[in-house]
């Protein structure tokens, strides 16, 4: 069996995604291959972790919204900072999230 260079494979995938414009800014949407197959116990465990991370992400976004220094610490470009300063008219940061 041929040895697989995981770093090279991931780099190639990221390059292909950028070439196909599957990105936001210069960040690829998801550098991981999908789908993930989970059993019921794993799904419950993962859901709890993801809900906690979402809550923490919302708190960070709320705290950073009015602070340019925090937005830069989070790695936003100047263009992204300008977008982040636009008042969307609702409190939830993630438009795809459900509360």
The DSSP secondary-structure symbol of 21 reads: T
Q: Indicate whether 94 pLDDT > 80.
A: no
- Residue-wise pLDDT tens digits, 74-86: 888 889 888 888 8
Residue 63 near residue 70, CB atoms below 8 Å: yes
- Residue-wise pLDDT tens digits, 36-72: 778 888 989 989 998 999 889 888 888 888 888 998 8
For residue 27, what are the β-bridge partners? 24
More confident residue, 53 or 28: 53
Q: Indicate whether 14 pLDDT > 90.
A: no
92 contacts: CB under 8 Å, gap ≥ 6: 58, 99
% of the chain residues with pLDDT over 90: 5
**Structure tokens that stand for 90 in this block:** 């609702």
58 contacts: CB under 8 Å, gap ≥ 6: 92, 93, 94, 97
Separation between Cα atoms, residue 88 and residue 57, nearest integer Å: 17
Report the predicted TM-score, pTM, of the whole model to 2 decimal places: 0.50
């Amino acid at each position: 069996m041929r040895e697989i260079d995981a770093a090279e494979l991931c780099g190639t995938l990221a390059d292909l995604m950028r070439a196909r414009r599957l990105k936001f800014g210069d960040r690829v949407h998801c550098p991981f291959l999908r789908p993930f197959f989970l059993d019921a116990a794993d799904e419950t465990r993962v859901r709890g972790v993801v809900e906690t991370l979402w809550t923490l992400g919302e708190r960070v976004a709320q705290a950073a919204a009015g602070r340019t220094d925090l937005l830069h610490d989070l790695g936003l470009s100047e263009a992204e900072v300008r977008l982040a300063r636009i008042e969307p008219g609702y409190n939830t940061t993630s438009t795809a999230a459900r509360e």
